[in-house]
Amino acid sequence: MSVVLEVRGLGVRFGGIRAVDGVSFDAESNAITTIIGPNGAGKSTLFNLISGMIRPSSGKVMLRGVDLTGRPPYLMQRAGMGRSFQITNLFFELTVFENLRLAAQRLETTGRFLLPVRRSERALARVHELVERFALAPKAGELAGALSHGEQRRLEIAVALATEPSILLLDEPTQGMSHSDTADTAALIRDLARDVTILLIEHDIGVVMDISNHIVVMHQGRKLAEGAPAVVRADPAVKSAYFGHA
């Protein structure tokens, strides 16, 4: 296993508050690394720091050995960082096809950017592949805004994956899903991990323990513990901070 993403001492201050404070961890290739922690622990802020949405005040983000610290989100994406959002963030007035096509366009050479859309064959082939894999083929011509919540959450992941990123950041992919949809999504994420490194934020502790290879526990902006699911579950500090008296 090689390290894909290295996070070193990453932190940011909002006014006087350290929202994220000196967090370090590694995400290994083709593994699922999950960040957990109570509400307000700084998980989403950490994601925003890693993907460039917020500029860190300290620390480093390295992807495949390249220092990406402080780059804007669009350059992070080009460097191989794909991300989905906790609150579904799609192009609702465009079709499922177009949502995916827009993302898959990154696979094409720059020259195709100013040629008719149909000439970007690789992007179109990628869209075909994704609608099949995410069971969205019958909905490809529908507007993203017209999909059910579960379908929108699936599309959200598919869009992030369309660019063939080195690492996929998934922010609560099962948010608001029914029990059976959650199980399907968990299986899907495990399946995705065969081809891509995954960094996950997840609340459903059953899913977390089930699919994660490595868990990072956050508490009040700091890293509280990390390790394999069994190790983290047994950690007394984690027990008191996160699992309560479980």
Stretch that binds other proteins, among 15-23, 38-46, 82-90, 192-200 (CB under 8 A): 82-90
Helix (H) or strand (E) run with residue 191 in it: helix 179-192
By CB under 8 A, tell whether 109 contacts other proteins.
no
Phi, psi of 201 (to 5 degrees): -110, 130
By CB under 8 A, tell whether 163 contacts other proteins.
yes
By CB under 8 A, tell whether 237 contacts other proteins.
no
Find the Cα–Cα–Cα–Cα dihedral 70, 202, 235, 1, rounded to 10°: -60
| Contact characters 35-74, other proteins, x per CB under 8 A | ----------------x--------------------xxx
Query: What is the rounded CA–CA span in Å between residue 239 and residue 246?
Result: 7
By CB under 8 A, tell whether 90 contacts other proteins.
yes
Stretch that binds other proteins, among 8-16, 41-49, 97-105, 221-229 (CB under 8 A): 97-105
Of 46 and 217, nearer to other proteins (C-beta) is: 46
Residues that bind other proteins (CB under 8 A): 51, 72-74, 77-78, 82-83, 85, 89-95, 97-98, 101-103, 105-106, 108, 112-118, 120-121, 123-125, 127-128, 131, 137-138, 140-141, 160, 163
